[in-house]
Amino acid sequence: MTKKKILVVEDNEDNKRILLYRLRKIGDFDIVATSNGLEALEAVQADPPDLIFMDLKMPVMDGWEATRRIRELESGREIPIVALTAQAMAGDEQRALANGCSDYLSKPVVDPALVREKVEKFLGPQLPPVGA
Ligand SMILES: [Mg+2]
């Protein structure tokens, strides 16, 4: 079976590291990590993932712009995008849903069950990889 591909877009290294750690415990995914919206857009154009976790506030190109541009792509229209929202930024959850995101996940991503819930919502039930 082909591995599901997940694109993680997050400029904060600590937040990125914990999300990648959580994802690797959930399933055997092909994970690509990028640090800004432009890199994410290029990654989607090169090889569209099955699921995207998208930070909103990033240098070079933020998550709002990246989401808008991914949605303009033929290959990016249907990809589930889960916005990574900061608790301090009230209203970002609803704004994300209104601007092309499929769902949201509050940072810091501390609850493994919540990450699993988002992954399985879009990719279906997952078996943890051996040794995870
Ligand atoms: Mg950020």
CA–centroid distance, residue 34 to ligand 1 (Å): 12
Residue 57 lies in a domain: yes
Q: How many domains does the chain have?
A: 1
Residue 130 lies in a domain: no
- Is the pTM value of this prediction over 0.85? yes
Asked if residue 116 lies in contact with residue 105, where contact means CB atoms within 8 angstroms, the answer is no
| CATH number, domain containing residue 117 | 3.40.50.2300
Residue 42 lies in a domain: yes
Residue 127 lies in a domain: no
CA–centroid distance, residue 27 to ligand 1 (Å): 25
- Burial state string for 69-81 with b = 16 or more CB within 10 A and e = fewer than 16: bbeeeeebeebbb
CA–centroid distance, residue 56 to ligand 1 (Å): 6
Lowest mean pLDDT among 4-18, 63-77, 79-93: 79-93
pLDDT at 132: 65
Q: 49 lies in which domain range?
A: 5-121
Residue 51 lies in a domain: yes
The arithmetic mean of pLDDT across residues 72-93, rounded, is 92
pLDDT at 97: 95
Name the residue among 66, 6, 68 with its Cα closest to residue 31. Answer: 6
CA–centroid distance, residue 74 to ligand 1 (Å): 26
CA–centroid distance, residue 130 to ligand 1 (Å): 32
CA–centroid distance, residue 87 to ligand 1 (Å): 12
Mean pLDDT score of the chain, rounded to an integer? 94
The arithmetic mean of pLDDT across residues 53-64, rounded, is 97
